[in-house]
Amino acid sequence: MNAAASRKQLFIHGLGEKLDSLREQGLYKPERVLASRQGAEVVCDDGRRLINLCANNYLGLSGDEATVQAAVKATEQYGYGLSSVRFICGTQTVHKQLERALSDFLGMEDTILYAAAFDANGGLFEPLFDEQDAIISDALNHASIIDGIRLCKAARYRYQHNDMADLEAQLQAAAAAGKRHTLIATDGVFSMDGTIAQLDRICDLAERYGALVMIDECHASGFMGAAGRGTHEHHGVMGRVDIITGTLGKALGGAMGGFTAARREVIDTLRQKSRPYLFSNTLAPMIAGASLSVLQRLSASTELRDRLHANTAYFRREIATLGFTIKPGTHPVVPVMLFDAKVAQQFAQRLYELGVLVTGFFYPVVPMGQARVRVQLSAAHSTQQLDSALAAFAQAGTELGLLNR
Ligand SMILES: *Cc1c(COP(=O)(O)O)cnc(C)c1O
């Protein structure tokens, strides 16, 4: 082998070693293969039927027949795709209709669509803020917010997760540094714990210091608040949040796609300058059409939202009664705390054998010693399915000696 070829070999070999080390540490993430639609129950490629408690399918729309049919209808009308970015020849009436419908649903002036919320966050900060500005970010914000802020020249400040005293200290620091515009950026709901950001207090602080507020609503849009508009509705601060980003890939249908909603000037600026929007393909019309039908359905009835919250309250109560330790709260993300990484993996494996799909989370995804399985409820779960899942939790918990007595 010549020297050039062996250098290439070294590269691949190095990656192989790093992957082996991940496996040894139990940090390697295998993928479960589903042979069915997403839903309250799924069928794996080994034929096993499982109750699914780990999808972001909060409203149960991912495999829902009406959603599928709305996508089919939009495909028939608008075709499969656009083979274009939005500004060249990739904008159809369905995209404009969805942007309008999202603005109305969220209570914002205008909305821009992206291929993913990761892109919405990745392309948000750099066009709007520069070195004269400051961005103050919650320490546990989603990776896409962190990456988006990295791409922007604004000064970066970080506050301790959910800590309002520290947020105020960072606002003071940005003011003392003479920063022109300051933006507070936070997840509306933090997905590992189901923690809801204290948006009322964040807005109070922002207004006291003349700062803007941005929230990422990926785990809130469609079901938080009385009409499911999100965390800003839940906390009674609609009209006080400046920028909302979110996904079409969780509660609002579950395919893919993201958005940013804000004042018209903000959205117009993003259309002109946001790189994931300018240099990436248009959202497929089937997703735009199906998302539109989802928003219409959510405006017509609170039924799915009500079922989700009833399922959440039921599961939270029953799992605690069984003797498991959960993080208290009201969100459909229910962290069942097992603390030890190995135990979390064993427990998830045993539940799989008993017909329940959950994932163990451990360091570095959550802090050391805080391993857990994260249960996510869905409007699609029947009480019978939840009872079966709870029985499996009880059995696995008893076998592994995990129940508080
Ligand atoms: C899932 C998620 C994203 C990414 O959403 P995609 O549309 O899948 O790219 C961004 N932010 C948060 C908080 C999320 O949970």
Q: d(Cα 336, Cα 328) in Å, to the nearest integer?
A: 10
Q: Are the C-beta atoms of 218 and 247 separated by less than 8 Å?
A: yes
- Residue 355 C-alpha from the chain's centroid: 25
**Ligand 1 center to 29 CA (angstroms):** 18
**Ligand 1 center to 322 CA (angstroms):** 32
Cβ–ligand 1 distance for 225 under 6 Å, the answer: no
Q: Are the C-beta atoms of 260 and 215 separated by less than 8 Å?
A: no
Please state the atom number of ligand 1 nearest to the C-alpha of residue 189: 13
Q: Which stretch of DSSP H or E encloses residue 49? A: strand 49-52
- The pairing of strands 134-138 and 182-187 is parallel
Average pLDDT over every residue of 138-152: 97
Cβ–ligand 1 distance for 191 under 6 Å, the answer: yes
Residue 3: per-residue pLDDT: 86
Amino acid present at 121: N
**Ligand 1 center to 85 CA (angstroms):** 21
Residue 83 pLDDT level (bands cut at 50, 70, 90): very high
Please tell me which residue in 234, 250, 309, 381 is annotated as part of the active site. Answer: 250
SS3 317: helix
- Whether omega for the bond prior to residue 285 falls within 30 degrees of 0, making it cis, is no
If we measure between CA atoms, which residue out of 137, 228, 193 comes closest to residue 337?
193
Residue 323: per-residue pLDDT: 96
Residue 169 backbone dihedrals phi, psi, to 5 degrees: -60, -40
Q: d(Cα 21, Cα 176) in Å, to the nearest integer?
A: 45
1: pLDDT strictly greater than 80: no
DSSP class per residue in 131-198: TT-EEEEETT--HHHHHHHHTS-SEEEEE-TT-HHHHHHHHHHHHHTT-S-EEEEEESEETTTTEEP-
For 24-69, how does the pLDDT look when each residue is reduced to its tens digit (9 = 90+)? 887 788 899 999 999 999 999 999 999 999 999 999 999 999 999 9
Residue 80: CB partners within 8 Å, gap ≥ 6?
A: 284, 285, 286
Q: d(Cα 331, Cα 352) in Å, to the nearest integer?
A: 24
How much is the mean pLDDT over the chain? 96
Cβ–ligand 1 distance for 118 under 6 Å, the answer: yes
Q: d(Cα 276, Cα 245) in Å, to the nearest integer?
A: 14
91: pLDDT strictly greater than 70: yes
If we measure between CA atoms, which residue out of 26, 11, 12 comes closest to residue 346?
26
SS3 286: helix
Residue 95 backbone dihedrals phi, psi, to 5 degrees: -70, -40
Please state the atom number of ligand 1 nearest to the C-alpha of residue 248: 7
405: pLDDT strictly greater than 80: no
DSSP class per residue in 346-392: HHHHHHHHTTEE--EE-TTSS-TT-EEEEEE--TT--HHHHHHHHHH
Q: d(Cα 13, Cα 161) in Å, to the nearest integer?
A: 39
Q: d(Cα 114, Cα 256) in Å, to the nearest integer?
A: 9
Q: Are the C-beta atoms of 279 and 59 separated by less than 8 Å?
A: no
Strand order in the sheet with 212-216: 110-114, 258-262, 243-247, 212-216, 182-187, 134-138, 155-159
Cβ–ligand 1 distance for 247 under 6 Å, the answer: yes
Q: d(Cα 112, Cα 246) in Å, to the nearest integer?
A: 11
Residue 30: per-residue pLDDT: 85
Cβ–ligand 1 distance for 374 under 6 Å, the answer: no
Residue 364: per-residue pLDDT: 84
Please tell me which residue in 103, 137, 191, 291 is annotated as part of the active site. Answer: 191
Residue 4: per-residue pLDDT: 85
Please tell me which residue in 95, 142, 179, 219 is annotated as part of the active site. Answer: 219
DSSP class per residue in 218-274: TTTTTTSSTTS--HHHHTT-TTT--EEEEESSSTT-SS--EEEEE-HHHHHHHHHH-
Cα dihedral: 137, 262, 99, 103 (round 10): 110
Residue 329 gets the label, from left (phi > 0), alpha (psi -120 to 50) or beta, of left
* Residue, of 394 and 23, whose pLDDT is higher: 394
Q: d(Cα 186, Cα 241) in Å, to the nearest integer?
A: 11
**Ligand 1 center to 175 CA (angstroms):** 30
Q: d(Cα 198, Cα 396) in Å, to the nearest integer?
A: 35
Closest C-alpha residue for ligand 1 atom 6: 117
- Does the annotation mark 191 as catalytic? yes
335: pLDDT strictly greater than 70: yes
Which percentage of the chain shows pLDDT scores above 70?
Answer: 100
194: pLDDT strictly greater than 70: yes
